[in-house]
């Protein structure tokens, strides 16, 4: 009994998620005292809305990072979803059908990247860099570089972006659903365990009878598909399709996942951790804004947080390796 409690406690305190929650709570406390505008319903709601859609992309990126991949195209693909759905809608298509097609187009982009990574054998980094540029080019080509105003979008469609159920915004409900479902899938299901095996040691996974190419292909497709979903929610919220949306999003998203415990070498990470990472980054941004810190400082501070998290992780792993090897 005693030992069981000890392992539970040591696991709780050993877990990265706990550390992040503590840091977030501390920041919360500090901000509550530092700014009267912080702990207000409006601010909380605005803050959650700000990262709730991007968090869906974080989910996709985290899964891809666990499998050992990476995707730089998430920002452009998110914009591509908006542009495709927006153009189809302006040409008279039902917005729901247009959205479905746009998400499928994003999945197609993922499939093309997956093909080049697994069957041609190129690196994720390069393939997604190319996809990032191409998808952005398509967005600009399709719109002539100007945002598409979608004022005619029906209310029931805009509801997914700006509506609420009771006092809770729909976008936040969607975000919580995605996070809860994918966190469970990743922790508990066989299909997603294969993602961990593949990322941890691709060759050992192949030597365990796992079809690793298929795993990598599918995680690449999943990440792009989730970008598509995010793009549609953004479109419903903004009531427009912006071809330049999401520039630099990939860095934010990768940073969140890595702060949450994912590793660029694969095999590690959780959805919960990554979301906490996203919350931390978002909390820092809005706190700095509330304290009237220059926008330029924000990037510097966020970059430093990323560096600190990775450095901390590095020493943690090193210490474990030393202590564990007796």
Partner 1 sequence: MTPPLLQLSDIHKSFGAIKALRGAQLELRAGEIHALMGENGAGKSTLMNIIDGILQPSSGEIRIDGQRVQIDGPATAQRLGIGLVHQEIALCADISVAENIFMARTAQTKRPLMDSADLVARARAVLAPLAEIDPRLPAGRLSISQQQLVEIAKALTLDCRILILDEPTAALTELEAQKLFTILRGLAARGIGIIYISHRMAEIFANCDRVTVMRDGQHIRTDEVADLTPSDVVNAMVGRKLDTLYPPKMNGERGAEILRVQGLTDRRYQDVSFTLHKGEILGIGGLIGAGRSEIARGVTRLEGAAKGRVWLNGQEVVLRDYADCIARGIVYLSEDRKGDGIFLDMPIAANVSALNLRQVAGRFGVIDSGAETAQAQSIGETLRLKAGSMGHRVASLSGGNQQKVALAKLLAVKPRVIFLDEPTRGVDVGAKAEIHAILRGLAESGVGIAVISSEMPELIGLCDRVMVVSEGRLTGELSGPDITEAKIMTLAAPGALAASRNQN
- In the complex, which residues of this chain contact partner 1 (CB under 8 A)? 7, 11, 188-191, 193-194, 196-197, 200-201, 203-211, 267-268, 320-326
The least distance separating partner 1 from the CB of residue 209, rounded to whole angstroms, comes to: 4
- Closer by beta carbon to partner 1, 140 or else 185: 185
Q: Considering beta carbons, is residue 201 or 298 the nearer one to partner 1? A: 201
Alpha carbons within 13 A on the beta-carbon side of 197: 19
Q: Is 101 helix (H, G, I), strand (E, B) or coil?
A: helix
Strands 164-165, 148-149: parallel, antiparallel or unpaired by DSSP?
unpaired
Contacts of 287 (CB under 8 A, 6+ apart): 27, 31, 34, 35, 38
Q: Who's near 315: CB < 8 A, 6+ residues apart? A: none
CB of 201 to partner 1, least distance (A): 5
Least Å distance, CB 19 to partner 1, is 19
Which of 61, 21, 7, 56 has the alpha carbon at shortest distance from 269? 61
CA distance 251 to 72: 8
Instruction: Closer to partner 1 by CB, 45 or 193: give it.
Output: 193
Q: Which is nearer to partner 1, 116 or 197 (CB)?
A: 197
CB of 148 to partner 1, least distance (A): 41
User: Shortest gap between Cβ of 242 and partner 1 (angstroms)?
Assistant: 39
Residue 209 burial class via C-beta count within 10 angstroms: exposed 0-12, middle 13-18, buried 19 and up = exposed
Q: Which is nearer to partner 1, 141 or 204 (CB)?
A: 204
């Amino acid at each position: 009994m005693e030992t069981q409690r000890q392992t539970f406690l040591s696991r709780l305190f050993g877990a990265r998620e706990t550390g992040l929650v503590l840091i977030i709570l501390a920041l919360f406390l500090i901000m509550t005292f530092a700014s009267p505008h912080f702990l207000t319903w409006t601010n909380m709601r605005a803050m959650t809305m700000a990262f709730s859609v991007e968090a869906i992309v974080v989910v996709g990126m985290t899964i891809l990072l666990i499998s050992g991949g990476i995707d730089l195209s998430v920002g452009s693909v998110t914009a591509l979803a908006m542009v495709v759905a927006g153009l189809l809608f302006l040409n008279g298509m039902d917005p729901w059908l247009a959205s479905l097609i746009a998400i499928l187009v994003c999945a197609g982009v993922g499939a093309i990247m997956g093909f080049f990574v697994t069957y041609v054998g190129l690196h994720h980094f390069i393939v997604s860099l190319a996809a990032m540029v191409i998808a952005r080019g398509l967005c600009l080509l399709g719109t002539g570089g100007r945002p598409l105003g979608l004022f005619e979008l029906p209310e029931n469609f805009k509801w997914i972006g700006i509506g609420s159920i009771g006092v809770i915004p729909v976008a936040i409900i969607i975000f919580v659903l995605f996070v809860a479902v994918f966190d469970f899938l990743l922790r508990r299901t066989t299909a997603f365990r294969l993602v961990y095996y593949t990322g941890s040691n691709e060759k050992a996974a192949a030597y365990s009878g796992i079809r690793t190419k298929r795993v990598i292909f599918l995680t690449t497709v999943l990440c792009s598909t989730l970008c598509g979903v995010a793009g549609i929610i953004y479109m419903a919220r903004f009531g427009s399709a912006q071809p330049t949306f999401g520039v630099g999003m990939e860095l934010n998203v990768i940073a969140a996942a890595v702060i949450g415990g994912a590793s660029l070498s694969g095999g590690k990470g959780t959805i919960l951790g990554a979301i906490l990472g996203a919350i931390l980054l978002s909390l820092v941004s809005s706190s700095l804004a509330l304290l009237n810190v220059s926008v330029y400082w924000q990037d510097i501070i966020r970059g430093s947080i990323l560096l600190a998290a990775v450095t901390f992780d590095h020493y943690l792993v090193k210490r474990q390796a030393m202590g564990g090897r007796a």
